[in-house]
Amino acid sequence: MKTLLAMKPIFKISEVFKTSWKQTRSQIWVLAGLIIGYMIISFTLSIFSAPAPGQGLAGFTIGVILMNVLSIILGCIFSLGYIKNIFQALDGDEPQFSAYGQQARKILTYFLSSILYALIICVGLGLLIIPGIYLALRLQFFTAIIVEEDGGILESLRRSWEITKGQAMPLFLVFLTMVGISIVGFLLFIVGIFVAIPLTYMMYAYTYRKLSAPVISEENIATVE
């Protein structure tokens, strides 16, 4: 007898929020601390990259270029490493600082993928905005795929498009929820943003896991004797 075991999983907003909040709360001090640490390092780099008095225009230009390059490198490393930390917390493990070193080799892939993603979104936004939003929702998981699946530049975007097929509306609702959480976090004396940011990252990671989970389609039917 042939039995269809499973179809593509459909996630619920309540499920995404509850699970993400539970996992975020269990590691909130570490996850929030990493964000604060990143902000401090970025601020420090901007100070040291500033030109010294008397350097003139050349010194100012070099300082700006240096600051921008260092900021891009640091931003890429943090984005990749933090996503890895989020996945570790989602799995019930303690986030490891070593994740940043492990993900550093993917900087170029992430940087080029981000540029390509931004260009695609810009083109979409130019086509009456809605296409841009749609493309952003469908391609948003390229970072998670680079981190979790070691995807390449085009492969990560293609894979994100594949796993989000038919899920645009649920993804849009998740996006609106994340925006709402961010606004509330900012309004709570700004301090709340250090809870809101890890929570929205966790929702992103959990949604990706739900969409990328192996499923049995109609072409993969189990035969039960």
28 within 8 A of 196, measured Cβ to Cβ: no
Q: CB–CB of 182/200 below 8 Å?
A: yes
List the end-to-end C-alpha distance of the chain, in Å, as a whole number.
6
**Count of the separate structural domains present in the chain:** 1
Q: Which of 209-222 are b and which e, b meaning 16 or more Cβ less than 10 Å from the residue's Cβ? A: bbbbeeeeeeeeee
Instruction: Give the model's pLDDT for residue 46.
Output: 72
Q: Provide the residue-wise pLDDT of the chain in tens; the chain has 225 residues.
A: 333 333 454 788 999 999 999 999 999 999 999 999 999 988 887 776 655 555 555 555 666 777 788 889 999 999 999 999 999 999 999 999 999 999 999 999 999 999 999 999 999 988 888 999 999 999 999 999 999 999 999 999 999 999 999 899 999 999 999 999 999 998 887 789 999 999 999 999 999 999 988 654 444 434 433
> Which residues neighbour 88 within 8 Å (Cβ) at sequence distance 6 or greater?
94, 95, 96, 99
Q: How far apart are CA 20 and CA 178, in angstroms?
A: 11
223 in a domain, yes or no?
Answer: no
Is the separation of the CB atoms in 44 and 74 below 8 Å?
no
DSSP alpha helices (H): ranges in the chain? 13-26, 28-49, 56-90, 98-103, 107-126, 130-139, 142-149, 153-163, 168-187, 193-212
| Within-domain flag for 52 | yes
Q: Evaluate whether residue 59 is within a structural domain.
A: yes
Residue 181 lies in a domain: yes
Is residue 19 included in any domain, yes or no?
no
The whole-number pLDDT of residue 177 equals: 96
pTM of this prediction? 0.86
Q: Is residue 44 part of a domain?
A: yes
Residue 14, in any domain of the structure? no
35: number of Cβ within 10 Å: 17
Burial bucket for residue 40 (CB in 10 Å: 0-12, 13-18, 19+): exposed
CB 186 within 8 A of CB 197: no
Residue 221, token pair as written in the block: 């039917």
Distance CA 134, CA 123 (A): 12
DSSP code of residue 16: H
Residue range(s) defining the domain that contains residue 105: 24-213
- What's the burial of 168, exposed, middle or buried (CB within 10 Å: 0-12/13-18/19+)? middle
Q: Report the distance separating Cα 175 and Cα 169, nearest Å.
A: 10
Considering the domain boundaries, does residue 9 fall inside one? no
